[in-house]
Amino acid sequence: MIAPGSILGGKNVVESVLGKGGMGVVVAATHVALGHRVAITTMRREASESPEVVARFEREAKAAARLQSEHAA
């Protein structure tokens, strides 16, 4: 379980859990070295066992990465 204070990827400190769903968990975090606030989505272990769910997760991540707006998280 991801909880506030956890460090993800050795560089992001979890501030709070923003939401939970069937596919995963979204957290607000701060990059330790840069001080940037980020939103990180992680996939639940059970969901990662389905190739279809993994493909959907990857499509959504790519679509989110294309967003270039100060109004998008």
Q: What is the pLDDT along the chain (73 residues), one digit of tens a residue?
A: 789 999 999 999 999 999 998 889 999 999 999 999 999 999 999 999 999 999 999 998 899 889 888 887 6
pLDDT of residue 70: 80
Rounded Cα distance, 38 and 73, in Å: 8
State the pTM of this model: 0.78
Beta-sheet strand order (sheet of 37-43): 7-8, 12-20, 24-31, 37-43
pLDDT of residue 69: 82
Residue whose token pair is 């959907």 = 56
Cα 19 to Cα 10, 44, 51, 58: the distances in Å are 22, 13, 23, 18
pLDDT of residue 1: 77
Give the count of beta carbons closer than 10 Å to the beta carbon of residue 2: 16
